[in-house]
Each structure stands twice: as C-alpha cells, then as structure tokens.
C-alpha cells in the first residue's frame, strides 16, 4: 500500500492508497493533523500508527511513502519517520532527478508549490482539455493548465479564513464569525455579523468568478474549472462556476506521482 502526506501551511493530510495491480489505486482512509514543522518522527508515529491500527492496517502494509510539502521544515522529520517506522525511503514529490514530469511554462519554474504541481498532474490525468484549477487553502490559488498538461501560470490570493483573520485581528469591535452562507441572499446586511458574512462570503465568490472570467478570456479556448480544497463544496452550492469539485485532487496527484516514480 502507498502512504502519502500532503503537508500544507495549516494542515497535513495523510492518506492510504491500495493499488489494484493494474495501474489503479483507491483511497482507503485519510487523516488530518495540524501542520507543525517541529513535530518529530516519533510524534508522527505515536499518532499515525494508532490510527492505522484502528482502521485495520499495520505498518507492514505500507511499502511506499510519498511526501508533497509546501513547508520545507516539515520534510526532514517526515523522512525520518518513514525510515524508522516503515523501513522505506520517503519520496519527496518534485525533488531530485525525477522532477515533476510536465512543462512549467513560467518565469521561475522552481517557485511552483508542490500542492499546485500535484493538482496540475491529477487534473490533467482526470480531466480533458484546458483546465483552470482553484484550490481553496490557506491561500487560494487559481492555476491554468493547458491541454498538453503544461502549467501556464496562475493567481495567488489570500484564503478566505486568512482574510477573515486579518479583518477581525485589525479592527477593535468586529466579532469573529464562522464561514457560512448568509441567512438571506440580500447583500444589504441589517447587523454587524450579517454585514461581515456578506462581505466575506459573497465578496469571495465575486472575486473568484471575476478572476476566472478574466482568465478564461485570456486563454481564449473552452476551459473546465476544477475546484478543490476544504471550502470548495460550500462555494459550489452558490455559484455555477465549477465544472467539477474534486476534494481529493492533491492526494490523487501524489498517488500518480508515486506510480510514475515506481514505473
């Protein structure tokens, strides 16, 4: 079985894939933990080995471990964790001679984050044609992948929770609110909480719709829009922008990368 770790700025997601022997794979289970670059390999083991056992698996079931990380400081301890507890050398997605395996057509190819590269790999394999991939994470990214699978560039914007944190943290009287759809479709709020929610929720949808409209016009060809990340499902209920919502896109990219590395 394949164990993957998608390490983001806020959370790290681990997933266990089972291979079918015919080039396919299926996610059997996944776990999420807060990202902490100081967490040691032993601490990962105390947490993850118990969860594996709860799900009916053991460390002996894992014969490959792949890491995709946008937090460089976390990689070393995860590598030690793989070596000590699974007796495997972790593969770092995008590192070494293997690279990413697709064209990165931007001014600074090495600056492309692992999560965005993995999204590009999975999106191109799973969906046809020109693609726009939106990832709602700590930052929200909007990326253009052409029909050949080449990464053509994109957009980085503050994530919605990051925007809300900045709003609440830099004002004296505004309360903390949860991200959810406003109670009505009106954009004229009648109290402070509703006004904040309207600004954050509908403002964010308007921003994404506007950016994707501009990107589609610049590409000049039909594009599918793929959404991923924790809030993609919430936004999907209130916009017609997305052609597909794929919450497993980055994990799928890690599995595809592992398959290519194994072949």
Q: Which pLDDT tens digit goes with each residue over 230-241?
A: 889 989 989 999
> Using CA of residue 24, residue 20, residue 228, residue 235, what is the dihedral sign?
positive
Burial zone of 48 (CB within 10 Å; 0-12 exposed, 13-18 middle, 19+ buried): buried
Confidence of residue 157 (pLDDT cuts 50, 70, 90): very high
> Which residues are marked as active site?
115
Question: Taking 60 as the threshold, does the pLDDT of residue 21 lie above it?
Answer: yes
Q: Considering the chain, what percentage of its residues have pLDDT values greater than 70? A: 98
Instruction: Give the DSSP H or E segment for 169.
Output: helix 160-169
pLDDT at 74 over 70: yes
Rounded to two decimals, the pTM is 0.90
Q: Which is it for strands 130-136 and 223-229: parallel, antiparallel or unpaired?
A: parallel
SS3 state of residue 260: helix
Distance CA 149, CA 250 (A): 15
φ and ψ of 220, to 5 deg:
80, 10
DSSP symbols for 52-115? HHHTT--GGG--EEEEEES-HHHHHHHHHHHHHHH--PPEETT-GGG--SS-B-SS-GGGS-HH
pLDDT score of 152: 97
Summarised one tens digit per residue, pLDDT across range 204-225 is 999 999 999 999 999 999 999 9
What six digits make up the tokens of 246?
């794929």
pLDDT at 96: 64
**pLDDT of 257 above 70:** yes
Where does the pLDDT of residue 171 fall: very low under 50, low under 70, confident under 90, or very high at 90 and above? confident
């Amino acid at each position: 079985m394949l164990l993957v770790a998608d390490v983001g700025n806020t959370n790290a997601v681990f997933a266990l894939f089972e291979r079918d022997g015919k080039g396919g794979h299926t996610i059997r289970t996944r776990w999420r933990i807060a990202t902490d670059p100081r967490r040691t390999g032993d601490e990962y083991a105390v947490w993850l080995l118990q969860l594996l056992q709860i799900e009916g698996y053991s460390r002996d079931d894992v014969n490959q471990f792949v890491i995709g990380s946008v937090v460089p400081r976390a990689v070393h301890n995860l590598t030690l964790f793989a070596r000590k507890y699974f007796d495997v050398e972790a593969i770092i997605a995008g590192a070494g001679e293997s690279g990413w395996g697709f064209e990165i057509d931007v001014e600074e190819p090495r600056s492309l984050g692992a999560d965005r590269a993995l999204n590009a790999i999975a999106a191109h394999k799973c969906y046809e044609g020109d693609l726009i991939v939106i990832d709602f994470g700590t930052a929200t990214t909007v990326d253009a992948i052409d029909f050949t699978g080449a990464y053509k560039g994109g957009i980085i914007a503050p994530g919605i929770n990051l925007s809300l944190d900045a709003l609440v943290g830099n004002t004296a009287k505004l309360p903390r609110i949860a991200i959810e759809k406003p109670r009505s479709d009106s954009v004229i709020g009648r109290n402070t909480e509703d006004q904040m929610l309207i600004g954050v929720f509908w403002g964010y949808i308007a921003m994404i719709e506007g950016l994707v409209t501009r990107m589609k016009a610049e590409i000049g060809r039909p594009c599918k829009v793929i959404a991923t990340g924790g809030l993609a499902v919430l936004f999907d209920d209130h916009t017609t922008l997305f052609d597909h919502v794929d919450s497993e896109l980055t994990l799928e990219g890690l599995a595809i990368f592992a398959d290519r590395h194994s072949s």
